[in-house]
Amino acid sequence: MDAPHSKAALDSINELPENILLELFTHVPARQLLLNCRLVCSLWRDLIDLMTLWKRKCLREGFITEDWDQPVANWKIFYFLRSLHRNLLRNPCAEGAAKAWVRGGHAEHTQVRKPPTLLPRMCLKSQLVDLVAEGYWEELLDTFRPDIVVKDWFAARADCGCTYQLKVQLASADYFVLASFEPPPVTIQQWNNATWTEVSYTFSDYPRGVRYILFQHGGRDTQYWAGWYGPRVTNSSIVVSPKMTRNQASSEAQPGQKHGQEEAAQSPYRAVVQIF
């Protein structure tokens, strides 16, 4: 005769300690947790809504480290934004005949020898990013309004000056412009040191209803030479990021300037050393 069990088997998975259930949930895909598991019962709903679970999932996915010390307002939103984190601009260096870029309403077929792209005369190329198609649902965009970080790199040829310009617009589903970043054009004189410059801007607390992002950049050469002598542009990016507590002036500071200077916070341009 078998010896009696010292403890009866569990009648339900819900009899497991909550900490064990949380650990099990960290291995379930996030969308399944919300679309299926959360509907099973009130216990599962309450556990899945705990910020502790989503912080554990962030740790397991490598989105944070054990020594993470930055404040996060909503770990669930942080998790989904980190899982979607990527450059939303395709072909950011405009390789291969600048595929994915549009100029003047037609696909860009300008010759591209190697990145960065050389833009002749006045040439503006653009991309339109559909945020919903990229996985950012409407409630996420309208309720939490994550930061939208835009960056671009430009430089002139050493023997030819150029004018560079950039325009980024956040638009509604009906293509109405809700927010815009369009810094003054930058003109670089002939016989320069061909230094690469990064331009960056973060859209924060923008109006509700943003569904599209238009990114347009380009320029022309100042000598009007025939061929590809305009600004060189490369490594363009649009990244949707969780809102983090940070010092905006510090992140924009110019080399040699003290953090917190008003000029640093206002200017999007930051000259850097040669990267190519």
Residue 210 belongs to a domain: yes
CATH classification at residue 212: 2.60.120.260
The CB density around residue 32, as the number of other CB atoms within 10 Å, is 11
**Average pLDDT over every residue of 144-153:** 96
Asked whether the predicted pLDDT for residue 58 surpasses 80, the reply is yes
Residue 259 belongs to a domain: no
Listed residues 84, 106, 136: the one ending a domain: 84
* Predicted pLDDT at 103: 75
Please check whether residue 219 is in contact with residue 185, taking contact to mean a CB–CB distance below 8 angstroms.
Answer: yes
Residue 143 belongs to a domain: yes
Pairing state between β 232-241 and 117-118:
antiparallel
Cα–Cα distance for residue pair 146/129, rounded to 1 Å: 16
* Predicted pLDDT at 271: 44
Check whether residue 126 and residue 234 sit in a common domain.
Answer: yes
CA dihedral of residues 12, 18, 23, 27 (deg, nearest 10): 50
Asked whether the predicted pLDDT for residue 254 surpasses 60, the reply is no
Q: Domain range spanning residue 209?
A: 122-240
Which pTM does this prediction carry? Answer: 0.77
Check whether residue 66 and residue 137 sit in a common domain.
Answer: no
Residue 39 belongs to a domain: yes
**Average pLDDT over every residue of 48-77:** 94
* Predicted pLDDT at 192: 86
Listed residues 36, 68, 84: the one ending a domain: 84
Check whether residue 142 and residue 229 sit in a common domain.
Answer: yes
* Inter-CA distances, 222 with 32, 112, 161, Å: 56, 20, 5
Residue 159 belongs to a domain: yes
Q: Which helix (H) or strand (E) holds 264?
A: helix 262-266
More confident call, 103 vs 55: 55
Listed residues 84, 110, 144: the one ending a domain: 84
| Number of domains making up the chain | 2
Check whether residue 147 and residue 77 sit in a common domain.
Answer: no
Angle at the Cα of 181 (from 176 to 186), degrees rounded to 5? 135
* Predicted pLDDT at 109: 33
More confident call, 170 vs 229: 170
* Predicted pLDDT at 79: 96
- The number of residues making up the chain comes to 276
Asked whether the predicted pLDDT for residue 231 surpasses 70, the reply is yes
Amino acid at residue number 101: W
Residue 96 belongs to a domain: no
138: three-class secondary structure by DSSP: helix
Residue 231 belongs to a domain: yes
Task: Let me know if 233 is exposed, middle or buried by CB neighbors in 10 A (0-12, 13-18, 19+).
Answer: buried
79: three-class secondary structure by DSSP: helix
Check whether residue 79 and residue 126 sit in a common domain.
Answer: no
Residue 148 belongs to a domain: yes
Q: What percent of the chain has pLDDT over 70?
A: 76
CATH classification at residue 66: 1.20.1280.50
Please check whether residue 240 is in contact with residue 83, taking contact to mean a CB–CB distance below 8 angstroms.
Answer: no
Check whether residue 34 and residue 140 sit in a common domain.
Answer: no
pLDDT digits (tens, 9 = 90+) for 20-42: 999 999 999 999 999 999 999 99
Check whether residue 148 and residue 38 sit in a common domain.
Answer: no
More confident call, 129 vs 247: 129
Please check whether residue 153 is in contact with residue 231, taking contact to mean a CB–CB distance below 8 angstroms.
Answer: no
Check whether residue 132 and residue 217 sit in a common domain.
Answer: yes
**How far is residue 53 CA from its own chain's centroid?**
25
pLDDT digits (tens, 9 = 90+) for 77-131: 999 999 999 999 999 988 876 677 987 533 333 333 344 555 446 788 899 999 9
Cα–Cα distance for residue pair 112/97, rounded to 1 Å: 6
